[in-house]
Amino acid sequence: MSELPVHADVICEADGAVARIRLNRPKALHALTTAMCRTMLDALVGWQADEAIRLILLDHAQGRGFCAGGDVRAIAADPSLGPDFFGTEYRLNHRLFTSMTPIVSFLDGVTMGGGVGIGLPCRWRVATERTVLAMPETTIGLFPDVGGGWYLSRLPGRIGQYLALTGTRLDGAECFALGLATHYVPSDNLDDLKLRLAAQPDRAEAILEEFSAPAPDAAILGQREAIDRLFASDNYEEILAALDADGSDWAKAQLATLAPKSPQSCKVSLELLRRSAGLGDFADEMAMEYGLAVHVCARPDFAEGVRALLVDKDNSPRWDPPTPAGVTPALLDALFAPPEGGQWAPA
């Protein structure tokens, strides 16, 4: 077994024809730092140039949860760190997405934000009964980045817009039903599955099928009609008005969920998905999200959202602008403008 120079929080190693990335920061639910992203990116670049490596496995080494997201506290405290973090993270996302060497990700446990960004680009994506997947960025003044615009805009109907705005959590069965996961495997069988994949990497797809089990019913599909009807608009105020006019218990619950979200983030998210739907290249998606991330992190809502949720934990953010009406078309245009420090480019 050959082991690459590693950052303490992520283990990258290769054994014969199989390479492995294991997130190893359990106390932070494996939240990604710039150093972790750079270590994974460097490992992937090397492995993908090595014809002997025929399969890559991506999971977590210990603890609960696959990856809870990016470690955003430092960036909220010092926005100047944002370009390096997001630039590196997005190059990692793109490298995973475009890898010619097949990659299997194991979305076992909490998979949010940055965890979605490294899990979903992989060719095969395994969900379990412990999977909890979400893009909750509107709660902290951000937006569904790390390729979120690409994945969510391509979900059936208006489910992507619903998930982007509300940050609703999906279980493993829902991930499988929506195509976010390619396989559903009981968590008790994961260790055996990984051993089989390591022993027979050229039979990866057949082995994944062999270990797959029927997924339970996907609860979100029972709300498909309401989601498509009430989240039909790309105008955030129109969505809020539709929910208010509907008056059902489900609609009221969505209004209550949206009430504490950043109005800026909600409008940015809708516009991101609208633009993402028309893109044909994942690199273009990442370039757009990079510019947007640089601009958004320099605005007040990101630091305030992180403060309210993760630092002071008072859950009482003071958004700026405080209402959807204050998020003008001119502000949105400025947020989607190219970044002043230079465009993003793949590794």
Residues serving a catalytic function are 70, 114, 137, 145
- What's at 156, amino acid-wise? P
Report helix, strand or coil for 7: coil
Q: How many angstroms separate the Cα of 45 from the Cα of each of 24, 121, 198, 284?
A: 20, 15, 20, 20
Which residues are 159's β-sheet partners? none
Measured distance CA(173)–CA(217) in Å, rounded: 7
Measured distance CA(148)–CA(75) in Å, rounded: 19
Tokens of 117: 């960004």
Report helix, strand or coil for 49: coil
Query: 300: buried, middle or exposed (CB in 10 Å: 19+, 13-18, 0-12)?
Result: middle
Q: Residue 152: name the closest of 140, 136, 141 by CA.
A: 136
Contacts of 63 (CB under 8 A, 6+ apart): 26, 27, 29, 30
Q: How far is CA 137 from the centre of its chain?
A: 9
Q: How many angstroms separate the Cα of 43 from the Cα of each of 13, 38, 87, 287?
A: 8, 9, 17, 22
Contact 89, 70 (CB under 8 A): yes
